[in-house]
């Protein structure tokens, strides 16, 4: 179970060798706006004018620019591979062939639905709940899920041991609210139309019937599906049960047949994540005609296959999931879609190519230095918290000291030698094989010790994460570029950008979820009752601050769903600011471009979240994302910080001002 930041995207494109990236590009500011009126508009308004929303994006921000820059770099590497005449079976051959298959639009359009037809036909044979269980396992084996799913992960209370987890799955639109709330009726109609379209493209004469059946199944299971807020309750999702008791509790799911089909031996213990959901779908499966369940699995299969079939399929998927749900105007060009497959499915092999070309060794040493400095600052904050008692404080310090830090790339690379990619097979068949490899890789960990050297992200990823089960913070090479990490910038800017990212991830170890785990990575209550109550009181005040934000007319932010990230942003800013001040030593730097170091710190932080975004995407992210929208990650968070008000001379009466008694300090 990983607690991580969202895709934090900020940006630079390629630049001529020897030229520096500006620490702060003054054209990105909108100086017609007072910082005390709307700090986000002041710090990013110029950027928004200079970077209008591209038609292939529903949200285009600094993160997306950096990710796009990495796409260009990787695409150039992929295009160069055939000239190297890679050896058959090598990772270069697999990357090159998978990329070429995705680029071959002539072949994809000629094949149409043919690559998937035999798999659809196999699902026609479902005539019982036992058949449904076996077919659901077949979907899982190749990377998709039905109404439930299993995975292997560290035992939350014994982090050195891998266990089998059983939990909910099955909603194509991602959030139960899309199915249940009246304001999303148009999207429900759009989803049903999408299903009918792909069944029609697959040659089904009764496409409307199959689409309705699949839609009805998703509508039925949306009711017991856990809400996004409930899904953040980690202890509630830790329910170890004897394996035979799990099978007996949900007899019509035939979990014994399901696990056997996946090659999983009977388990002494299975960790059930959402017992009431599984009970509800057990009853639903028992009372539903097998043909209807079969149509649901066919719909899942077709939805997952759209990107690897003809243009008609990919266009149908884009029209609903991107245009209607997110407001994206145009589909990404084929080269971006083609390069994303090897980038995801052979991620560490691609990452190895990436870091050899684009990640200077000195970045890792510099990052370790900054991380250590920020770790010391968080230690100071813990030592002086007025609301925390001595025993909890000591345990918190021990946890902080035990952090594992991963920077750039793993010391040990994944071995993809057993994965076969062949141009003799269709693109869909090859993607099935790659997905099956990843599922098998995960399931093979069952019964083995947890490999704590493994990474949860690829090196080229523009992101970072904290993992409570390993008590680690990880910063892939992809994010260690301007404006996050800029070797040409002054310390204030680097601490406001990558410094806040680092301290954000550290703070995740002490947010409402991370605080449940001890220094070893085990879920254990190391808090006194009084300290836990004091923490929760402050956390609920932060929830209320975000709940009060109207992101669209009639649509409010969800402070409970985004609490962990909001705590991490808030703590990240406070801790990185302390680290910045200490980095100055006895000499306080002079202003640059008329901006003090303190002002540059906060402007650099805001720049990370500069973006343009559609209203549909704002709505979608509010429903699906545990991260607040970029504007609120800036304007709501900074209004709790005395140092922010001091830096910009913000006083009572200014819209950005928050009275001292309403400010929240947690870490």
Instruction: Catalogue all structural domains in the chain, each as residue range(s) with its CATH number.
Output: 3-14+34-71+362-412+453-662 (3.40.390.10), 114-308 (1.10.1380.10)
Query: How many CB atoms sit inside 10 A of residue 100's CB?
Result: 18
Among the residue ranges 63-72, 242-251, 424-433, 498-507, the one predicted with the least confidence is 63-72
**Dist. CA 628–CA 188, nearest whole Å:** 25
Query: Does the pLDDT value for residue 18 go beyond 90?
Result: no
Give the chain's radius of gyration (CA, Å). 25
pLDDT for the residue 366: 87
Per-residue confidence at 115, pLDDT binned at 50, 70, 90?
Answer: very high
**Dist. CA 299–CA 296, nearest whole Å:** 5
**Dist. CA 604–CA 24, nearest whole Å:** 7
* pLDDT (tens digit per residue) in 271-310: 999 999 999 999 999 999 999 999 999 999 999 999 999 9
Per-residue confidence at 20, pLDDT binned at 50, 70, 90?
Answer: low
**Dist. CA 181–CA 314, nearest whole Å:** 28
Average pLDDT over every residue of 354-382 = 93
Where does residue 18 fall: left (phi above 0), alpha (psi -120 to 50 degrees), or beta otherwise? left
**Dist. CA 100–CA 78, nearest whole Å:** 9
Helix 114-122 and helix 290-305, axial crossing angle in degrees, nearest 10 = 160
pLDDT for the residue 362: 87
**Dist. CA 663–CA 652, nearest whole Å:** 13
* pLDDT (tens digit per residue) in 168-190: 999 999 999 999 999 999 999 99
* Alpha-carbon distance values, 506 to 19, 50, 288, 464 (Å): 33, 33, 47, 11
Helix 427-443 and helix 91-103, axial crossing angle in degrees, nearest 10 = 140
pLDDT for the residue 361: 85
Q: Identify the DSSP state of 448.
A: S
**Dist. CA 438–CA 157, nearest whole Å:** 25
Strand partners, 165: 151, 271
The fraction of the chain above a pLDDT of 90, given in percent, is 94
**What tokens does 526 get?**
């190391």
pLDDT for the residue 662: 96
Q: Are 342 and 474 in contact (CB under 8 A)?
A: no
Average pLDDT over every residue of 371-392 = 97
Please give the mean pLDDT across all residues of the chain.
95
- Strand order through the sheet with 3-4: 3-4, 465-467, 472-476, 404-408
Average pLDDT over every residue of 89-110 = 97
Query: Does the pLDDT value for residue 13 go beyond 80?
Result: no
Query: How many CB atoms sit inside 10 A of residue 363's CB?
Result: 19
pTM as predicted:
0.94
pLDDT for the residue 231: 96
Query: How many CB atoms sit inside 10 A of residue 330's CB?
Result: 12
**Dist. CA 437–CA 416, nearest whole Å:** 9
pLDDT for the residue 5: 37
Nearest to 226 by CA among 217, 237, 215: 237
Query: Does the pLDDT value for residue 9 go beyond 50?
Result: no
Per-residue confidence at 223, pLDDT binned at 50, 70, 90?
Answer: very high
Query: Does the pLDDT value for residue 599 go beyond 90?
Result: yes
pLDDT for the residue 655: 97
* pLDDT (tens digit per residue) in 603-645: 999 999 999 999 999 999 999 999 999 999 999 999 999 999 9
Query: Does the pLDDT value for residue 125 go beyond 80?
Result: yes
Per-residue confidence at 14, pLDDT binned at 50, 70, 90?
Answer: very low
Beta strands of 477-626 (E only): which ranges? 550-552, 555-556, 611-613
Strand partners, 541: none
Q: Identify the DSSP state of 253.
A: G
**Dist. CA 198–CA 195, nearest whole Å:** 5
Average pLDDT over every residue of 543-564 = 97
Per-residue confidence at 483, pLDDT binned at 50, 70, 90?
Answer: confident
Give yes or no for a cis peptide into 483 (omega within 30° of 0): yes
């Amino acid at each position: 179970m990983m607690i991580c930041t969202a895709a934090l995207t900020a940006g630079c494109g390629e630049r001529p060798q020897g030229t520096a990236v500006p620490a702060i590009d003054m054209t990105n500011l909108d100086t017609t706006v007072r910082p005390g009126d709307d700090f986000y508009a002041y710090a990013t308004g110029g950027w928004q004018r200079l970077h209008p929303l591209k038609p292939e994006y529903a949200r285009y921000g600094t993160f997306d620019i950096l990710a796009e820059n990495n796409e260009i770099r990787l695409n150039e590497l992929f295009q160069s591979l055939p000239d190297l005449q890679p050896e058959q079976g090598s990772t270069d051959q697999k990357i090159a062939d998978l990329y070429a298959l995705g680029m071959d639009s002539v072949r994809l359009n000629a094949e149409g639905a043919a690559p998937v037809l035999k798999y659809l036909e196999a699902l026609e044979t479902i005539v019982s709940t036992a058949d449904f269980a076996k077919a659901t396992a077949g979907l899982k084996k190749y990377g998709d899920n039905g109404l439930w799913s299993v995975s292997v992960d560290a035992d939350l209370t014994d982090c050195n041991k891998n266990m089998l987890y059983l939990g909910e799955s099955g909603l194509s639109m991602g959030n139960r609210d899309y199915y249940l709330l009246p304001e999303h009726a148009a999207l429900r109609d759009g989803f049903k139309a999408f299903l009918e379209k792909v069944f029609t493209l697959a040659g089904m004469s009764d496409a409307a019937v199959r689409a309705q059946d699949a839609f009805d199944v998703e509508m039925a299971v949306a009711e017991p599906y856990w809400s996004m807020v409930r899904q953040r309750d980690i202890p509630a999702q830790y329910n170890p049960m004897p394996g035979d008791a799990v099978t007996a509790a949900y007899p019509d799911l035939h979990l014994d047949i399901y696990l056997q089909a996946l090659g999983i031996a009977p388990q002494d213990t299975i960790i059930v994540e959402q017992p009431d959901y599984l009970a509800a779908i057990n009853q639903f499966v028992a009372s539903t005609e097998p043909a209807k369940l079969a149509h649901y699995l066919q719909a899942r299969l077709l939805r997952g296959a759209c990107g690897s079939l003809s243009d008609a399929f990919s266009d149908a998927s884009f029209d609903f999931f991107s245009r209607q749900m997110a407001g994206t105007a145009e589909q990404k060009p084929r080269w971006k879609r083609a390069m994303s497959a090897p980038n995801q499915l052979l991620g560490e092999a691609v990452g190895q190519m990436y870091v050899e070309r684009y990640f200077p060794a000195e970045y890792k040493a510099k990052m370790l230095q900054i991380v250590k400095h920020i770790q010391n600052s968080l230690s100071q904050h813990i030592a002086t918290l007025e609301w925390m008692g001595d025993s909890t404080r000591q345990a918190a310090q021990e946890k902080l000291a035990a952090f594992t830090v991963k920077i750039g790339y793993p010391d040990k690379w994944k071995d993809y030698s057993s994965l076969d990619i062949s141009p003799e097979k269709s693109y869909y068949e090859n993607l099935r094989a790659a997905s099956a490899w990843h599922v098998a890789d995960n399931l093979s960990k069952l019964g083995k010790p947890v490999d704590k050297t493994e990474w949860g992200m690829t090196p080229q990823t523009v992101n970072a994460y904290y993992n409570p089960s390993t008590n680690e913070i990880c910063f892939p090479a992809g994010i260690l570029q301007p404006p996050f990490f800029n070797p040409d910038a002054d310390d204030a800017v680097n601490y406001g950008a990558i410094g806040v990212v680092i301290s954000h991830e550290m703070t995740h170890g002490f947010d409402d979820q991370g605080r449940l785990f001890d220094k070893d990575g085990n879920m254990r209550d190391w808090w006194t009752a009084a300290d836990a109550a004091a923490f929760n009181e402050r956390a609920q005040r932060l929830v209320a601050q975000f709940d009060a934000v109207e992101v669209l007319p009639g649509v409010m932010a969800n402070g409970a769903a985004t609490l962990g990230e909001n705590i991490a942003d808030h703590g990240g800013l406070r801790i990185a600011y302390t680290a910045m001040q200490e980095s100055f030593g006895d000499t306080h730097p002079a202003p640059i471009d008329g901006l003090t170091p303190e002002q540059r710190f906060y402007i650099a932080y805001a720049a990370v979240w500069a973006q343009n975004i559609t209203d549909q995407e704002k709505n979608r992210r509010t429903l699906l994302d545990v991260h607040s929208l970029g504007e609120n990650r800036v304007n709501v968070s900074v209004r709790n910080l005395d140092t922010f008000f001091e830096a910009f001379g913000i006083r009572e009466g200014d819209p950005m001002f928050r009275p001292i008694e309403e400010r929240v300090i947690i870490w």
